[in-house]
Amino acid sequence: MTEAMKVSAPYSTQLAFGPTQRQVEVGQLIDITPDAPFAFDCGATMPSITLAYQTYGTLNADKSNAILLCHGLTGDQYLLGPHPVTGKGGWWEDIVGPGKVFDTDKYFLIVSNVMGGCLGSTGPKSINPATGHVYGLDFPVITIADMVRAQVLLIDALGIDQLFAVIGGSMGGMLALEWAVRYPTRLFSCAPVCTAAKHSAQNIAFHEIGRQAVMADPAFMGGRYIDAGTFPAKGLAVARMTAHVTYLSEVALQEKFGRRLQNKQAITFGFDVDFQVESYLHHQGKNFVERFDPNSYLYITRAMDYFDLEADAGGNLANAFAHTPVRFCVVSFSSDWLFPTEESRHIVRALNAVAANVSFTEIITDKGHDAFLLDVPAFHATLRGFLDGCAIARGLR
Amino acid sequence: MSKTLRPDLAVIASLVAPGARVLDIGCGDGDLLHWLRTHQQVDGRGIEIDQERVYKAIARGIPVIQGDVTMDLPHYPDASYDVVVLSQTLQTMADPRAVLEQLVRIGRKAIVSVPNFGHWRNRLQLMLRGRMPVTSTLSYQWYDTPNIHFCTITDFVILAEQLGITIEDRVVVDAAGHKARFTGRGFKANLLGEQGVFLLSKRG
């Protein structure tokens, strides 16, 4: 942390969620005022930013056991429950704790809500000091690099020079890669999981469908729904339903639902829910709007669309990793069609081209992209193995 | 922890200089790399196709890429390793010639071990019984063998000559694990050896 950087004491605050703008207390926010205003890639600046984060485990004396875990598109800082908004478990509930893959007896885990998110970090739901109203679409369009720059400030604020690992799946994997490329000396190891060095045309397409669904909802009101007292729940639900299909695999959908009907013996010749798969998607959409901000959805999907490490490296991804000291473990899932294995292989080849220390495995599973959040023993064994190997090399016990 | 290495791996290890950067292709659980790291301070990497073996190796702290030789090797830069190792795998490759050329391109040196189809037991089985040999080192039936490109020690030497690859060292290992250096095309080695281990480099 530099001399001039100012960091507030951690505090909690009330945030509003869902169509009813239900108030929820969200903890552990800090305000960071860096030496120079926070500069976004788009050119905008902010004198200070707020980051919400959770930690698990204890930072050791030489601050060498910190792991930054980066959440996916709609994830957040709650690895473990109870989640303040949903009341349910966290996103890596099963593998975080004493003796687990992310052993809280051994490691100090840090997770922060990304910038642009809606669970406490600065984002479109924050108050714009210039107007006294929420930013809405006046919030600067953010990038993955902006999110990571904000995380670097958090790690500075925590007084940690080098993270033991930066790990994330999906968008979290993009953040992990961005860390490794921009700040190679500030992490010992990096595990980008089911991710890509650049967002594909297909993925941009799905994001655009989601954004159009949100913006086409009359309640969206040009992003000013909070001021207007409305909420584009239908649009956001459709966005989530579409996205959710991309997180699964055809096999998984078929096995889970097939053509089974929902609480009925025969089709109804109508457009209400007939099939279980419809009911499931409706349920996913309905839950989602209770916890996620529509504007945040636009901003974060856009940040992913803009992500292109290869272009940043002049068209050759290997250049991005030249001389990297970081140890990598790249993981993909065989049935993931959103971030297919080929995307991971592309990263691995670039790392090989610069003779980096890299491991790679494609986990065989029918659980699709969501596999990184589910009980997939081979994935967990790989993560554990990688962390164990890195811990030996780093002299952690 | 492996206290002893498979005989051909022990020969390979003896050909690797301490502190070298080593790429082990088809590294399995990482036995050789683990040995080399522990005993010879080698900076090792592996390629392995089997998922279970990949994460076992990763768990030993050995960087391993789950991959396929044909698909992945062309992406490695020239001379990016001191030594590239391919043990008992060449005979399973669709295009052994292309693989050999990749090995000496990526590694300043390459070490290759091959099972010797020319061993007298194999010759005898084929001659007397008229059937494809099945022995302790070549334990497959013809219809389920992964070994699709068998060669003898002499065949290997001749291919290396044709490809302009220098054989810097050639060692034969017999059934009991005894090893011996040989020269030329190895008439005797080809009869008595169960495996050949070769230290290769690109000519020029």
Span A43-102, pLDDT tens digits: 999 999 999 999 999 999 999 999 999 999 999 999 999 999 999 999 999 999 999 999
Q: Give chain B's mean pLDDT.
A: 91
- Measuring CA to CA, how many Å separate A388 from each of A165, A327, A381, B24, B55? 12, 12, 10, 21, 11
Nearest to A113 by CA among A13, A206, A194, A34: A13
Helix (H) or strand (E) holding A49: strand A49-56
Q: So what's the pLDDT on residue B3?
A: 64
Domain around B41:
7-117+147-202
- CATH number, domain at B166? 3.40.50.150
- List chain A residues with CB under 8 Å of B81: 355
Span A259-269, pLDDT tens digits: 999 999 999 99
Distance (Å) from the alpha carbon of A266 to chain B's nearest alpha carbon: 44
- List chain A residues with CB under 8 Å of B63: 327, 357-359
- List chain B residues with CB under 8 Å of A345: 67
Domain membership of residue B139 (yes or no) is no
Residue B2: pLDDT band (50, 70, 90) is very low
Answer whether residue A397 shows pLDDT above 50: yes
Span A127-177, pLDDT tens digits: 999 999 999 999 999 999 999 999 999 999 999 999 999 999 999 999 999
Domain membership of residue B129 (yes or no) is no
Chain B contacts to A (CB-CB under 8 A): 21, 45, 51-52, 54-56, 58-67, 72, 75-77, 80-81
Residue B68: pLDDT band (50, 70, 90) is confident
ipTM over 0.90: no
CB burial string A244-273: b at 16+ within 10 A, e below: bbbbbbeebbeeebeeebeeeeeeeeeeeb
Q: Given A126, A170, A189, A332, which residue is catalytic?
A: A170
Domain membership of residue B188 (yes or no) is yes
The SS3 of residue A357 is strand
Answer whether residue B196 shows pLDDT above 90: yes
CA dihedral B120, B126, B129, B131 (to 10 degrees): 140
Task: Note whether A382 contacts B54, CB cutoff 8 Å.
Answer: yes
**A292's tokens:** 């996620």
The SS3 of residue A198 is strand
**Rounded distance between C-alpha atoms, residue B13 and residue A323, angstroms:** 28
Active site residue A336: yes
Half-sphere exposure of B165 (CA within 13 A, CB side): 28
Q: How many domains does chain B have?
A: 1
Mutate which: A190, A349, A359, A379, vs B, most B CBs within 10 A: A359
- The domains found in chain A, sorted by start residue, are 6-200+308-394 (3.40.50.1820), 202-303 (1.10.1740.110)
Domain membership of residue B175 (yes or no) is yes
**Rounded distance between C-alpha atoms, residue A245 and residue A250, angstroms:** 9
Domain membership of residue B68 (yes or no) is yes
Nearest to A245 by CA among A256, A234, A232: A256
Domain membership of residue B122 (yes or no) is no
Burial of B181 (0-12, 13-18, 19+ CB in 10 A): exposed
Mutate which: A329, A333, A345, A352, vs B, most B CBs within 10 A: A352
Domain membership of residue B103 (yes or no) is yes
The amino acid at residue A316 is N
How many CB pairs below 8 Å do chains A and B form together?
Answer: 68
Distance (Å) from the alpha carbon of A134 to chain B's nearest alpha carbon: 47
Active site residue A369: yes
The SS3 of residue A346 is helix
The SS3 of residue A245 is helix
Domain membership of residue B93 (yes or no) is yes
SS (H, E, C) chain B: CCCCCCHHHHHHHHHCCCCCEEEEECCCCCHHHHHHHHHHCCEEEEEECCHHHHHHHHHCCCCEEECCHHHHHHHCCCCCEEEEEEECCHHHCCCHHHHHHHHHHHEEEEEEEEECCCCHHHHHHHHHHCCCCCCCCCCCCCCCCCCCCCCCHHHHHHHHHHHCEEEEEEEEECCCCCEEECCCCCHHHHHHCCEEEEEEEECC
Task: Note whether A355 contacts B58, CB cutoff 8 Å.
Answer: no
Angle between helices A201-216 and A233-247 (to 10 degrees): 160
